[in-house]
Structure 1
Amino acid sequence: MKSYEVNFDGLVGPTHNYGGLSYGNVASQSNSQQSSNPKEAALQGLAKMKALMDMGFQQGVLAPQERPDVAALRRLGFAGSDAQVIQRAAKEAMPLLVASCSASSMWVANAATVSPSADTADGRVHFTAANLNCKYHRSIEHPTTSRVLGAMFADQQHFAHHAALPAVAQFGDEGAANHTRFCRAYGEAGVEFFVFGRSAFDSRYPSPQKYPARQTLEASRAVARLHGLSEEGVVYAQQNPAVIDQGVFHNDVIAVGNGEVLFYHEDAFLDTDRMLAELSSKIAKVGGKFQPVCVPRSAVTVDDAVRSYLFNSQLLSRADGSMLLIVPEECRGNERVWNYLQGLTGSGGVIREVKVFDLKQSMQNGGGPACLRLRVALNETELAAVNPGVIMTAPLYESLTQWVERHYRDRMTENDLADPQLLLECRSALDELTQILKLGAVYPFQIN
């Protein structure tokens, strides 16, 4: 039976703005308060989805969230009609309104952790929505994320869904941004790689001093238990606290893996040699041959990696066994990174080609190609059980492009977030989107 890695890309929401909400994310903070372009952001993301589909990769789409989140503002004491809630929040607590309008759900690498059926005890694909409790504006996402994922992967014979972990610091979970999977083939048993920034209960693990470590060891272990993963099928590794303090807020900003390949920076992890040895041993036991590709700090600094998002790229397997690296335009703009990539693809190694995409709107808010996609490994039967409305096709691309053109603004500032009309525009757009994607009622305004 054939198997695939399907990339489900997040569709950028109508309230895409540069609120500077993510402490520890250099791009998010440095572009705070600039004017954004939601229409351009959504179209850039759709163009990437279409391009990968045209290259023969399986591609899907994951819907954005309702914003502003009026219900979240009500829980914080703002009362009255929806318009009054928004206007009062704008007057009394603008940072809370900005947080309630964040379009950060576009980065669906943080939406959930996914384990394919070949790895799990019950032979189903398991999803655990990430609690994202390190940042308030992201912590309000997981209820809608769970409903959307449930509507996309609804067949209980093939798919299992778990609620987000307890929303406390000890179980901080940032989803697939700190998780990858190694395997010989997507339909075969693999080794799941969980990267954490700190331990909540074990002081032997060091923590960063400047920026928060968002993923805990305890959260990663809990997800592995929920998914029914075997001890032999899991490796845990700690992210280097020093690189977290340089702006590497998730592992996918400093490393990316796929198939049997780990593409990583020399400074990405603690105790790297032990981790590589464990990965190599466990991957060999499932029939694979581990291929680490280390980028030396002498060629690319951590600062270069953060500014270019070299590692927040998509590493994709091609039919001939070689790999394609999808990078943002910013990589071409960094001389050291671009020189390294030219040498990498010319070396005869496993990564043979680099393709560049313009994702400036997402990049300026702190997310690159890998942030925008959630990877789900599926066999043919499981793929057939996925809601067909969310699988990218040429007609769906055209429908979504036209939908964006109808509903999105081409300019968004902080002052625009205080306009109650924006909520009506967002709800009208999302109501139509659920019909296009055949999701049913997944948003609070459709349910309540």
Structure 2
Amino acid sequence: MTDLPQERRIVTAIPGPKSQELQARRLAAVAQGVGSVLPVFTARAGGGIVEDVDGNRLIDFGSGIAVTSVGASAEAVVRRASAQLADFTHTCFMVTPYEGYVEVAEALAELTPGEHAKKSALFNSGAEAVENAVKIARAYTKRQAVVVFDHGYHGRTNLTMALTAKNMPYKHGFGPFAPEVYRVPVAYGYRWPTGPQNAGPEAAAQAIDQISKQVGADNVAAIIIEPVLGEGGFIEPAKGFLPALSKFAADNGIVFVADEIQSGFCRTGQWFACEDEGIVPDLITTAKGIAGGLPLAAVTGRAEIMDAAHAGGLGGTYGGNPVACAGALGSIETMKALDLNARAKAIEATMKARLLAMADKFDVIGDVRGRGAMIAIELVKDRATKEPNPEATGALARACHQEGLLVLTCGTYGNVLRFLPPLVIGDDLLSEGLDIIEGALAAI
């Protein structure tokens, strides 16, 4: 565990003078298309704290977008990655392989849902994993069409931009996009016209009808969905939706892909969010939380599907880098040793109780939702009309930042505040962060 003191400390304005100096250098040297939520420059991070170059310590409710679930300097990750660094940094698995890659693939076969024979291929980023899942599904089915969902997010490469629903900032001005991608409704309970109780079956029926009529089930290689939609607003598809789509895929020879890049690895209180309704996907994509902050991603799935691509058809120079693989083994070791699934459920209990109490006090909160340590509030101008309130969301995030709480926004309408604390955060920091949110709500 980190030796970084686990307490919030504000000693300068946010951002402070050293961060402002670095920001001036950044503006001169870094492309402006690369944004930042908060221009405070990090010096150290670990547990539930990010310390900046000015000595401010911020409570971390972002985890580098669900990456540092075991903390940003977890002992097992540092120990294993450091040992691997001393042995070798790279050979390229496609030139001379190494045991770490195989060990990660074995761990993924053990942890992912289903008792069937499984294989994995390792990559660098979530977008790469999704792109390769599509390649594998097309190779296996000999079909081309890919079905995705409203509010979905799958990455920033050309194909994954096509799969992603939201235009700004992910797609605007970057087309043309990859063809043979079809988007259908998702069961967004809070905004479903006939109410959340009907959203699951009605949305599933609509989606299946559109696929059947507009695409043709026989043309579909893959259906890809996040079991909890991340960037789209931490939307949990209403109950019954995922099982209906999974069954439709199985009945029609379609590869069902669970994109667990943000929701996987104990984030929702289970190893993978699709387990909540007993979904066993054909392929599962992972990244973010897999390696304690080192760049690693994977596609894991049924052995016969994973083996459909010809030799040399999958890979990449850095895919499954040995240091990142060591980090992943350290991250998984930490998750098991600390039972971070149970910890995520405890974080959910604390956060939901406090946030629901806030919703009783503040009409701007239209919905509180999520599972485990993947919790969000959706802000609205009017609870009756549910008109999105992105202005209040931005103001709330800024107010939290000034008080030393790092929070992120998301949502198709930009009106969702999402909370992704490290699973190793202390209860005192969790409570203090919630106090700051409540104070910020009162202020705005």
When normalised by structure 2's length, the TM-score is: 0.27
When normalised by structure 1's length, the TM-score is: 0.27
